[in-house]
Chains A and B, each alone.
Chain A
Amino acid sequence: MAKTLFEKIWDAHQAVAETQAAPGVLYIDLHLIHEVTSPQAFKAIEDRGLTVRRPELTFATLDHATPTTPRAPGAKPIYATKAAESQVRRLEDNCRRHGVRLAGWDSEDRGIVHVIGPELGLTQPGQTIVCGDSHTATHGAFGALAFGIGTTEVGHVLATQCLLQRRPKTMRVTVDGELRAGVSAKDLILAIIAELGAGGASGHVIEYAGSAIEALSMEERMTVCNMSIEAGARAGLIAPDETTLDYLRGRKYAPKGAAFEAARKRWAQLKSDPGALFDAEVRIDGSRVSPMVTWGDSPDMAAPVDAVAPMPSGPESARALAYMGFKPGEALMGETIDTVFIGSCTNARLSDLREAAAVMAGRHVKAGVRMLVVPGSEAVKRAAEAEGLDSIFTTAGAQWREPGCSMCIAMNGDTGKPGERVISTSNRNFAGRQGKGVRTVLASPATAAASAVAGAIADPRRILEASHAQ
């Protein structure tokens, strides 16, 4: 019978099949952990006298609560709070005791969990991957089934390498056509979420397909899969192809030589069969997508950057517009911003920083605007510095910081002030997400950078066209 990509991965990982009475036991190939959602899980298994079943399939990093303040090499990090520091200490201690690999402060591999998994070649096609973090779907870009779990489930995976799961439904989002110049993967996923709604893909695993998806680089595919949860999806994935293989070849933990060739043969099977049925099908014309910004406090409240703030369709959107300080019917472009954040597991990879730097080069952050650029990992930071991106940002008046989640979740001391409007390359514009009372506008790195220069929401195509004309 014709199977979807999701079904192939799912079926291959059923240690015990699902029944009417109980969910199936799904085997997990890679368990990623970080300091915020793991301490209670380690405690729960220790309280029962259990150990980590497969420490070698578990990988930890420090990212959420860690400071990103610039510091000299080897200098000690200064935490925003004692609690943040003790949380990090707890993970270091748990990893030591249970023999779990940790990309800690002393590691050149440290970074945001969803940036380093792919970067290190830990993330591979056909795997099941979980993490106590809702943006785990990022890894689906490699044709893996990757999804976020709660802390109790983190404990289940630590102790058993398995999860109790019922088979979710499937949805295929096909994006045909070609993205226009100046339109990024971030714009595409914001457009998809606006189409589906914040809960529109609840209970589903999305497979992204179509010519516009196939044309994306791995980093762009990660940006798309990353935000699947913002439409309510359990996971998002993309069938592996030559682009995937080219990315994986030579990565630290990816198979090498003959093992890579053997893996490549297995991975070639990882695509939805012709005629495979999905529970839902959505089609998007990629050539109609524009650079997008959000106008409300839910990620599905997004519109083309050159559109006007919409007329409220009900109390929710009226409240959201009021919160953001946008007037229905007035242009979004030109609305002032106070802070710019380039970072997060959505948009802090090298290509994202290049995209922002291309806009910033030879320009300056508008007076009075604060701009933070936070690379996704130590490796991204090194690579960006090697090609001089850091000096483009600092010359433009932006801060070049240490890797971490930073202002995306704003629990490490990097926050906006109440009432500030922040244009951000992160994934959530929830009220107060970036600090109490902060108003977040989600956008691509190019749009965020163009807005930094203008001091207001701006269309990056205008700046880039001006650059090309010179």
Chain B
Amino acid sequence: MLSEPIRYINSATFVLKEANIDTDQIIPARFLTTTGRDALADACFADWRFSDGVEKTGHPLNTVDTSTHAILVAGDNFGCGSSREHAPWALRDFGFQAVITSRAADIFKSNALKNGLVVCEIEEAAHAALLDRPGIDVEIDVETQTVRAGDISARFTLEPFARTCLLEGVDPLGFILGQSDAIAAFEARAR
């Protein structure tokens, strides 16, 4: 089972400056009673965007067009807290294709990369520059692991297998299933 390969993302950025944006902000727990993994766009940052079910006027998340602004630039330690994979599902459904931050939480990063949401952790100076220039056009190159925007250029490092999965559309479960003999041998040894 292959998914769509992701090599480049070219888009304008949308900025959320706050540090430590946790997955409860990305999708509040009351939306987690779903048994599906789609139709979560309205749940994405719901408590930032809505008040008593009505859109908060003027909140940039309510005016952003993610068809042109698909790269979220966020503060440090993005995606901390709960392990809910609903967070990357919601961000993808909302239209984001990548998150650029100085540091992403471990479980969030792992979940995001399994759902085609590219997470680029870049050094602080470039990160600060991107935080200060919302709407700037950015190119993310997954192959060379670089983020470029005008005079800003920064490297990020993806876990090599996650990068291969993005570039070639490889499915991790298929990869583990391909090692069934080794797993069975391990089980036999452990008995």
Contacts and interface: CB of A to CB of B under 8 A. Distances in A.
B158 to A, nearest CB: 12
Interface stretch (A147-155, A358-366, A396-404): A147-155
Given A21-B161, A84-B33, A148-B83, A202 B103 contact: yes
Contact of A153 (B1, B29, B110): B110
A33 B82 CA distance: 15
B33 A298 contact: no
B80 interface: yes
Contacts of A153: 110, 114
A37 B161 CA distance: 24
Given A132-B85, A202-B103, 19 more contacts: A21-B161, A21-B164, A37-B85, A64-B32, A65-B32, A134-B83, A150-B111, A150-B114, A152-B111, A152-B114, A153-B110, A155-B173, A164-B161, A164-B175, A199-B103, A316-B19, A428-B22, A430-B22, A432-B24
A342 B70 CA distance: 42
Nearest to B28: A432
Interface string B62-98: 0000000000000011001111110000000000000
A160 B24 contact: no
Given A431-B25, A436-B47, A164 B106 contact: no
A78 interface: no
Contacts of A163: 176
Interface core residue of B83, B84, B187 (most chain A CB under 10 Å) = B83
Contact of B24 (A86, A198, A316, A428): A428
Given A37-B83, A134-B107, A149-B107, A298 B20 contact: yes
Contacts of B83: 37, 132-134, 148-150
Contacts of B115: 152
Given A149-B107, A152-B114, A203-B106, A25 B190 contact: no
A433 interface: yes
A22 B32 CA distance: 32
Interface of A: 15-16, 20-23, 25, 27, 36-37, 39-40, 43-44, 48, 50, 64-65, 81, 83-84, 86-87, 90, 132-134, 148-153, 155-156, 159-164, 166, 168, 198-199, 202-203, 229, 232, 234, 298, 316, 319, 409-411, 428, 430-433, 436-437
B176 A199 contact: no
Interface stretch (B5-13, B143-151, B177-185): B177-185
B58 interface: no
B186 A27 contact: yes
A155 B33 CA distance: 18
Interface residues of B, number: 50
A23 B182 contact: no
A40 B37 contact: yes
Contacts of A232: 77, 80, 105-106
Nearest to A91: B35
Interface core residue of B37, B85, B164 (most chain A CB under 10 Å) = B85
Contact of B77 (A20, A40, A198): A198
A147 B49 CA distance: 32
- Is chain A's binding surface mostly helix, strand, loop or mixed? loop
A166 B186 contact: no
B153 to A, nearest CB: 24
Nearest to B183: A15
Contacts of B1: 48
Interface in B4-44: 18-20, 22, 24-25, 28-30, 32-37
A132 B18 CA distance: 26
B31 to A, nearest CB: 8
B29 A150 contact: no
A160 B180 contact: yes
A430 B182 contact: no
A151 B114 CA distance: 10
Top 7 nearest A-B pairs (CB, nearest first) are: A199-B77, A150-B111, A83-B33, A15-B186, A150-B85, A39-B35, A411-B29
Nearest to A81: B33
14 contacts: A22-B160, A27-B190, A86-B35, A149-B107, A163-B176, A168-B106, A199-B80, A229-B81, A316-B18, A316-B20, A428-B24, A428-B81, A430-B25, A432-B24
